[in-house]
Structure 1
Amino acid sequence: MFRPYEIFIGLRYTRAKRRNHFISFISLVSILGIALGVTALITVLSVMNGFENELRTRILGMASHATISTAGGGIDDWEGIARQVTQHPEVIGAAPFVRGEAMLALNERVSGAMLRGILPDREGAVSDVGEHMKLGRLGDLRAGEYGIVLGSELAYSLGVQVGDRVTVISPQATVTVAGALPRLRRFTVVGLFEVGMYEYDRGVALVHMQDAARLFRLDGQASGLRLQLRDLFEVKRVVAELSRDLPVRYRLSDWTREHYNFFRAIQTEKRVMFVILALIVAVAAFNIVSTLVMVVTDKQADIAILRTLGATPASVMAVFTIQGLVIGIFGTLLGMAGGIALALNVETLVPAIERLFQVEFLPADVYYISNLPSDLNWNDVWRISSVAFVLSLLATLYPAWRASRTQPAEALRYE
């Protein structure tokens, strides 16, 4: 005889034809519900991971993995500091910058911006803004020529094009006999960039570092150094190690601190979405309760016969637990297959659906991220599958326990 017999009977009940076809229908609904919930969870979390990675890439394309600055003033020997930090095996690039707030004006239009002075030949080591130039290139920024590269939204708000001259107004005043006057300098627009983040496209302007140092009176100093790391997720460890080697007056910051609230909000949203979609799995899993209750009622005589043949209550409970777990496991595996397939192909399927139905889910003129990115995380897959399995197991316990409490004499009285 097949051992253990509880598995044999549980599997036989699962695949045998029942007198009550409604039970079969409820079982099918339970399997499909679990599969649908698992598929939705895997797909939605993969898309949210994709959006998070896309936003992180765009933000760090303009920001930096880590930044070195001082409490006040600038950095005199930035080249020496750059050589020192790039000796760390995790630091693959370092570039100086000058940063300050300024007002940009053209005719009647005025807009505030963060003015960033860069060295065009070194900027590519710490950011990818050069890859997002709509017009011109970073190399057009030359010391002493007072060229400026604007974000596309900033240029639109000012109504400027490449070749126009804008007035840059520094808040640092120049003292004259007529009083304190703001420092002014006319810059020629030599390029436009668009990284796809409104914060940067609307509020950042790039100039050559020497021109920015003259405007902000830094006398050849740099406001700080931007660092690019081999692995951005190791930034906390690397920053701690660099802090031990640098003098105390230098302050190190990293992208997790500068954008902490933003990425924490994304993580919170993912957790909430996981809980909401997990309710779909929970509803489907607890359909197993109604399925097994009806099966237990239908199999009263079978349970009584098993008990008279010597089956223990634990064995009867195991029979129906196995039957419920088969439904849960089959639904979970089906959902895993569907979710993985959908998550890996969502970037292909969504454009196909848009073409088929002539719709556009994320219009490019409204959303900066107009495609639907997806990043399948296998840890999410195992976590979702584990939750579905546990919910299925919990759903089987009560009806299986009720089956184990069946009294043979009472069950066979009217047979």
Structure 2
Amino acid sequence: MEHTEFNKELLSFLNASPTPWHAVETMKATLKAAGFRELDERQEWALDSGQGYFVTRNGTSIVAFRTGSKDVTTSGIRMVGAHTDSPCLKVKPNPDLRQTGYFQLGVEVYGGVLLNPWFDRDLSLAGRVTVLDSEGKVRDTLVDFKKPIAFIPSLAIHLDREANNSKTVNPQTDLPPVVMQVAETDETSFVDLLKEQIAKESGLAVSKVLGYELSLYDTAEAAYVGLRDEFIASARMDNLLSCYIGLQSLLNTSGDEAALLVCNDHEEVGSVSAEGAQGPFLSAVLDRWCGAAKARAVAHSMMISADNAHGIHPNYLDKHDQNHGPILNQGPVIKINHNQRYATNSRSAGVYRHISDELGLPHQSFVVRSDMACGSTIGPLTAGNLGVTTLDIGVPQFGMHSIRELIGSEDGYTLYRVLTEFMQREQVL
């Protein structure tokens, strides 16, 4: 895959994936088109050599893998991990709010959201809805309103003269978005609006809405930014970018070596769930693939946890260690923390640097300032669960956890090239 095509498809993937459910559906379609076979956790598996497979859990996490042509017990598995979720605002179960003729929705903050950028944006709504259909069956369906339907208006500076000096956000009272105006006699509920949208999107006749998991999102599409198109801006770059890179790497390997991609949900809230990295999903897949030889296979394996890194901000240079300030478009960032917030060790970092150097590609290193707390990823959780040698790496970005984030337009492709080589390398450890 060439650089221009890589970024073009990246923009399409980001635009098509407003929620983890939509991201996984997009990945599933891509894998099926490439000849990967879908597995069902409820059924027996019979895996063939040299074949690609994938399995999902909850519709928000996915494991895709190539079995390779060799004995996985002695050749090991080249693994890449990412996560499908991003910080956002989710609609509450009983969200209807009516005030002075405006219909608003109560929302809950998901993950560590930068809240101020959510004001004054054209917002839409997407996610999964569980319904009772006209035949009395419980089923799930995806919805995406696509057009702007909501807006969280700022309070005018005339009414808050200190807004530029001390802007704080109360998630309970400041964030409910305006979605329409209603007369006092109008009894339309949010559930009524959902039924209308489901009928419009899928033609499904819904007798009752039983539950939903819906997120607001910015309708502005992913786009190049910069006088020379040096950057790409989008929502949910953390961490759909890594999902896309991992997927393209898996698809473009030779297929001779055993390789795997796992994209977990719920990383932004701690990963403790059935489909999160601290849950049993990946381990269960490996049990069924490797059987009694799992421990030996894992001992020959390596995991690269791909999750975006903090690029050094030119307006806030003092927020970075002076020797570890990653620059956009100067290569992926090896993330190191000796307190195990990242799982990188000298061996896993060495493997990546060696492959990158062989390809003549740049790489950087990140260590958080010694007087600041360090974030984390699925890397330490996966390493702890499986006992697999792990590297934490990511593309440097600005605006992490904002409604819109920025990366260099070169770095994603650079990481893709290294991960593709990693996934098809005969010997990793």
Higher strand share: 2
Considering Cα pairs closer than 8 Å and 6+ residues apart, tell me whether 1 or 2 has the greater RCO: 1
TM-score range, shorter-chain basis? Answer: under 0.3
The structure with more radius of gyration? 1
